[in-house]
A and B are shown apart, each in its own frame.
Chain A
């Protein structure tokens, strides 16, 4: 029955040609192979975000007078609404976390080197966009924390010289964070970002397919010197089934977190109350937030804030250009890039912890 259907399609569309590359695709097997799973897990969590996001759209209403109430309605009246929303929030955070792991694993395995520069650049763009998802989605429940996070976040964007102010007004839909901001962020979150991200994911995956899996430079040199030492497994079914297991573990962890630690809704946003004490951005912005806090208000004659924002933007841009600083001779790598990568990892982790502990 199924075989007949498959044959029917195959006769017309020649599916065999399409899946042939997948059949021949192999994954290098070595002691660091498990880092290859994290891109797939991130993708899986993104799919969960799309599905639970569509479900939330059945009941969510954007608008300053309705957003908070509709999320409250989802969490208290709709059956399993609390679970769907909790999964959406938890999965968002886990997705950003696994995206960071994926990014740093690519850095330390040197997988960004020639010919995979564009895979790295699209990946970095995806990371920025995913953080944009986090930032825009955070406002949608229209609670106090979200309101101030958006106020501060858009204010920071406004610090950039010349283009900052117009950008802030564009993001806010006016001078202040109001219902107009909520409408915009809703549009970014459910239409603009998903569209761009879907296209970029397609390009990213195409590049991964096209270029195959990278092998760490040391191992690559060994394997080139001694080709019989090369170990690989078939992508399908060997690696795919392992990835499936990883997804299964991911959804298990996600379900457990969502059920045992349901996401809070907080208090409805009110533009005319003071910001609560100890207010902090989401953890994935914390290292930048803490950096900004540490810069004095005036450095020489430049505003500290401006310096911080420009510094962070420049660092992000240079980080995205990382492969272009690397040696393009196959097994060779530059030591200072490794040093810088270790520094970056410890800086991000350290500042995040510092941000959590600091008042």
Chain B
């Protein structure tokens, strides 16, 4: 600001009013929009699944077959091999999230959406899937086949 030309009181007053008015309007808009943006965010769903689930009863399973079970809020795939051993994996395809299935004719895990295949260890062997499926631990507790998340070593 130059000392020779002090600002006109009219313009500076107008300027101050503009700042107050504009600031007030912006503050109001922010107070309207902020709650709305927070409202959009869905509250986190409590995962009731825990780390362990009974996937099936051993009498339900036949050799060379698969069964989808609920693991928390997501599906898991339980497979009984010909030798009577079990395997459990995440059933969510790593490509675009479809639910995979066990193909007893191919002895592979197959995703119908985009023809992705995984071997029985969950490795992505052909098609678009970018990553292997997560593998879970399986143990028997009497009749029950219990699946649990792999403990990090």
Contacts and interface: CB of A to CB of B under 8 A. Distances in A.
A81 B41 CA distance: 11
A55 interface: yes
Interface stretch (A72-80, A93-101, A153-161, A175-183): A72-80
A84 B38 CA distance: 11
A55 B43 contact: no
A251 B29 CA distance: 11
Interface string B40-65: 11110000000000000000000000
A80 B41 CA distance: 10
Interface residues on chain B, size class: 10 to 19
Contacts of B42: 59, 78
Contacts of A79: 35, 38-39, 41, 43
A81 B32 CA distance: 13
A197 interface: no
Interface residues on chain A, size class: 10 to 19
Nearest to B32: A251
A58 B35 contact: no
A78 B43 contact: yes
A251 B31 CA distance: 12
B135 to A, nearest CB: 34
Contacts of A246: none
13 contacts: A55-B36, A55-B39, A59-B42, A78-B39, A78-B42, A79-B35, A79-B41, A79-B43, A80-B36, A80-B38, A81-B39, A248-B28, A251-B32
Interface of B: 28, 32, 35-36, 38-43
Given A78-B42, A80-B35, A81-B39, 10 more contacts: A55-B36, A58-B40, A78-B39, A78-B43, A79-B35, A79-B38, A79-B39, A80-B39, A84-B35, A84-B39
